[in-house]
Structure 1
Amino acid sequence: MTRAHRFSLRWRVAVVLGVGSLLLTSVLALVVWNLASGYMLRQREQSAVRQAEVNVRLVDESLRTGSEGLDELLKGLTAGPDTTILLFRPGQVLTGGRQVDPAVLPRELLDLGRAGVPAGQRLIVGDMPVYAVTLPITNADGVYVEVAPMLQLDRTFRFLSAVLVAATVASGLLGVALGSWAGRRALRPLTQLTNAASRIAGGDLKARLPAQTDPDLTPLAATFNSTADALEQRVLRDARFAGDVSHELRSPLTTMVNASEVLRRRRADIPGTAGRAVDLLTSEVDRFARMVVDLLEISRADQEDDPTLEAIDLGSLVVNVLAARQGPPVPLELASPSPHVLGDRRRLDRVVSNLVDNAERHAGGAVRVAVLRRGGLAVLEVDDTGPGVAPDARTRIFERFDRGTRAGSRGADTGSGLGLALVAQHVQRHGGTVHVVERPGGGARFVVEIPEAER
């Protein structure tokens, strides 16, 4: 069995407790069954033997005195309509009560009676459980047989067995339920730890474990929370450092950008190798400027608390972003009605802009932008006809400073490796996800999914 198909710890505890409860109850049920059934069976057999001994003395006395009306006596001795009395005499069989074929009685039982040995045996006669008692007759050559019904006892046994089986099954199910409940309560701190760790891994650095009253769990919660505090402080320090560096770079960068613009306008006057150096310099300055802006955006996003969210028409937002861009129009597909999301307009603007910029720089431009509604989610799709994204890089490209196969290259279209990281960060702040899939017909399709807001 693979690890993916194994039961969880909570269910393993529940199953073990259920099986243990089932085995224990089964043993107790067997003990109760054996004691109760054995006792009731012995009582019934002893009652049948005592009644037969009383009756055989009356029959023996009647035979000794030669009284007539033996048939009537046998009928009068029957204890109920299902009781049968048979009197075997040489060449004669007298019957009283319920009619039973004498041939159904075991020969060994009759031979014991003829030999003067009292005997008894449980039988099934006519689909009815009975107890046959054989007693010798002292004043005549014969055998007295009384067949006592055990139907009521059989019904009692059936009822008792049904109750014991039902109690055993119910005990097993109750054991599973109690095990599941106990496992859930015992593993609740572990579940809280998993949830808090998942939130931190997802970017929520303020996730903490609640205070624990259990002395065994208090050190765990304290250690985890102190580790999370240290991690949050380190991330904030790194973000502040990146922000400070970016701010310090803005002034010299502004001078460099202005100087590069002057060189770009005078490019026709600079021939040969110097001109190519100017082209390389201006492209690198542009890329450096975009990187500083992206770093400022990331550091601000890392340090900001969650902003006040508002209901935003995602379709209208995308229309406005595309209308403000230069270049050829991008085919747009809008759902009707347009989905609304609860979000920050500035960050969503940046998400749309970065995805379209990414398509323009690395895939020849976006060929389709769609705003759809799917399963309670607002979906933004940006298609391109570029080389696509390799399956092993479809997660990595959303990491900071990852530029895929373009890492180490230079040029105006290589990017800084921060645009898609910003997209992932902003989408995550909205409780959504972003991923890339293969576009039908070739190319890549970037898909953003954000929970749709109620209107």
Structure 2
Amino acid sequence: MRRRPARTADAAMVRRASLRVGLQTAGAVALTVIALVGVAVLVVLRDQHQSQNELLSATIARADDVDDPPAGVWLVLQNIRGRQATAGLPAGFPQEDDLRAASAGEVRSREVTTERVEYEVRTEPHDGGVVQAILSLRTAHRERDRLVRILLGCGVAGLLLAAVAGAWLGRRAVIPLARSLSLQRRFVADAGHELRTPLTLLSTRAQLIRRELDRDDGRATVRSEVDGLVTDADRLAAILDDLLIAADPRGGSARGPVRFADLVGQEVEAARPLADQRGIRLRLEREPGDPVVDGFDAGLRRAVGALLDNAIRHAAGEVVATETTQGNRIVLTVADDGPGIDPAVLPRLFERFVSGERRHTGTGPRRYGLGLALVAEVVARHGGTVSAHNENDGAVFRVTLPRG
């Protein structure tokens, strides 16, 4: 199956991000429109209901006869002279129950539906008799429906405009990020390409030296060191491949089971020469068992190696790596007895190029703060967490990973 070029993948990423921003903007506008339409309809209904009650109350107050009520209103007047009703009284009226209740002094106001038409009906005592005013709500409902249609039409138009504007703004916002990612990937790819050749030559030369040493059994110590050199070169090549995979937008290699206890043990042994050179005692403590992590071997090696390297370079005399299991999680703790972490740097310790004032007297090249940031990225790729704190005047790093 052919892979798309990185440039095509970047363009697809920009399109997806723009589409997501547009959809999110449209969703926010849709919720706002729905809320506004709902509020507007509630306000209109309240105003209409208030106007209808005021109209019916005023009509009843002026009701001397039933001949000239306002448009859309019918009257039923009942007194000692009998019952009168406005011509054209809708079917189903008058409401006899309301007339009887009003005769007893009760005022009633309610909506009544007859023949699929809604009416507002108000019945109350009046001048020794009873008046029932019936108002058709057909016109009010027509106005309400027209208002809702207008609001929804404006809302849909605004929704479309918001989606287009959101996609356009999202594209403008994402393009610089895509360019930065492309530049970063280009740097990693170029660095990987340039480093691969000397690494290959280093491994080849070490293998040739080992082959020559095989002819002389009296050089076992030298051969052991050369074996370590070959192993280190192979690990460095694997780490380089992992870096290239992490920078490739088209996807990485397949995950697989990693025996984490063995990996930690191997990395501790690989770091021991640096610890011996600096006079640091390096210890590994771990529980019995063989926990497995579903992930990338080279990436996990890179993270564990970076933590050990950081601890050894800042320790005063000892570094302790502890590997345990807690339920379905694997926990690796790397502690040193150095001067600890600058509190001003601690909240941003795992960000790239974050550095604080050096609090130890060691010599050597200035550290640029990439190692811990790479640890955080590797751990995040594996669904885990990494944290740091000071304890007993030293630094403690804690990595938690899900078991495979």
Higher-Rg member (1/2)? 1
